[in-house]
């Protein structure tokens, strides 16, 4: 693995695999705000805004693997730390967020 790789991060390629193969049992969530979700979103990824995570994290399974994405990877790391504090064990932040997804996976997703 590359030396600059953070063990708490996965790539957009990893996220695509998780979305393409439900048998992996990985849930992908988006922690951006609703106005951003209106501009650009990834099909099949539900919105759990970071601002509402304290009210909504109980909807998530603490034993399920979670990949969290935001716009660039900053808020998803905050969400990761928050969920870890709540006892979630298998949480990863998607490096580069939806901007990297747009660059590397799906060019039809708008950048903003």
| Residues with a known catalytic role | 70
Residues in the chain, total: 112
Structure tokens at 29: 């969530």
The Cα 63–Cα 7 span in angstroms is 18
The Cα 54–Cα 80 span in angstroms is 12
């Amino acid at each position: 693995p590359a030396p600059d790789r953070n063990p708490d991060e996965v790539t957009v390629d990893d996220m695509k695999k998780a979305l393409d193969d439900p048998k992996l049992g990985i849930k992908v969530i988006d922690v951006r705000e609703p106005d951003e979700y209106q501009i650009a979103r990834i099909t099949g990824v539900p919105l759990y805004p970071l601002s509402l995570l304290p009210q909504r994290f109980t909807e998530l399974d603490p034993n399920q693997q979670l990949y969290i994405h935001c716009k660039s990877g900053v808020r998803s790391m905050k969400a990761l730390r928050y969920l870890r504090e709540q006892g979630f064990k298998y949480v990863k932040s998607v490096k580069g967020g939806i901007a990297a997804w747009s660059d590397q996976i799906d060019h039809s997703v708008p950048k903003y």
